[in-house]
Structure 1
């Protein structure tokens, strides 16, 4: 795990107490893709599958963490909040899960940075997905994150 991923892990546990309870782990930050793990043991429901609320949190956190790391790389700082989100649960997850968020289109990122630099506030839509142990997409998530000074 890179130093940047390690700092994100510490931040999640220190600033968002729910992450510790869910046992969310930063698995990797590579090529502008963030992957978080979510163990079934800490997030199970009475059906023996991952709890939907935990999956929502993991998907949202993948986007929030992605933006946090990308901003640090870009030398930008501000408060990141979620403004709007949509989620689709496609498959039940009967084991551990992996939540991942990849970079948006380059032009979307550049527009976001430019708006933030000009106005001190900008919005960016990030898509994340939660995968099962076989790599199948079980959850699709789209969140609109806001950065403000």
Structure 2
């Protein structure tokens, strides 16, 4: 029985770094402290514990860019190697990378671990600087896809994502992405790490922006479905917050909540659209957004 944990207490943090030094630095004669670098404070750390609460594997991931995450310092205790524990910690780090908005993961693999990463979907793309001045490494990369992701009309969805990033650049910096579209439901997600406040929860303004863009996206995709064109603007909105977001920001808009007079747009008149967006922290509803939008007919 294994559990995946994020080290938070002083005891866990000290044990995490001690484990990393033991398996990644001590065998090469490097002193304690050499297992750390300048990226520790901006990284997400994970460790695998056995049924006795002992650390048996660890690893770290941080963002290089808004699209690319780097996985580093994976270590597995010798007696747990070739027992699937390496896959457990790698999968956990890949999921963290997805959650913080990365589209691909890279790692600089020692020659001894190339086969492991290759068997988990990574491909060699280039040479990497030697580790500790002596260990040869290869840079490897993997595209990150979520197996639960269902997107109909992928061309429209890609156009929506590009439109957000091109016309609302802050959406890219917030890590807001279309996660799912099924013609009746749109789901978007945001990176908590990119929108976190000093209390460890998501900024209220970021939640509002996520909800606004989700509603905007639902109208955009519905217009694509109906072969209509127009400029979507937000007229008025309200949001009710119940609980903070501390895990996984999600926004859902269902077709049942949408009330639109698209026939007015067909007649060249501006079209009112009202809808609701539910905000969740993973599976728990934490806020409701009501928006009044307008779709302006194309200019002649």
Task: Output the TM-score relative to the length of structure 2.
Answer: 0.46
Pick the aligned partner of 2:248 from 92, 96, 100. 96
Does 1:15 pair with 2:167? yes
1:103-138 C-alpha deviation (Å, 9 max, x unpaired)? 1468x34xx1122223521111110011111x1111
Q: Which residue of 1 aligns with 2:271?
A: 122
Provide the rounded CA distance (Å) in 2 between the counterparts of 1:31 and 1:83. Answer: 24
C-alpha deviation, 1:84, in angstroms: 0.4
- 2:202–2:246 Cα contact (<8 Å) kept: yes
Does 1:145 pair with 2:293? yes
Pick the aligned partner of 1:78 from 222, 230, 248. 230
1:68-90 C-alpha deviation (Å, 9 max, x unpaired)? 11101101101100000000001
How many residues align? The count is 145
C-alpha deviation, 1:146, in angstroms: 0.1
C-alpha deviation, 1:32, in angstroms: 2.1
Range moving further from structure 2, 64-73 or 31-40: 31-40
1:91-113 C-alpha deviation (Å, 9 max, x unpaired)? 1111121111111468x34xx11
Gaps of 5+ in 2: 1-150
- 1:32–1:70 Cα contact (<8 Å) kept: no
Provide the rounded CA distance (Å) in 1 between the counterparts of 2:158 and 2:183. Answer: 16
Task: Output the TM-score relative to the length of structure 1.
Answer: 0.91
Pick the aligned partner of 2:181 from 8, 11, 29. 29
Provide the rounded CA distance (Å) in 2 between the counterparts of 1:3 and 1:98. Answer: 22
Q: RCO greater where, 1 or 2, for CA within 8 Å and sep 6 or more?
A: 1
Which stretches of structure 1, 4 residues or longer, exceed 6 Å deviation after superposition? none
1:27-61 C-alpha deviation (Å, 9 max, x unpaired)? 01113211110111001011000110000000010
Q: Which residue of 2 aligns with 1:87?
A: 239
- 1:44–1:51 Cα contact (<8 Å) kept: yes
Q: Which residue of 2 aligns with 1:47?
A: 199
Secondary structure of 2:267's partner?
helix
Gaps of 5+ in 1: none
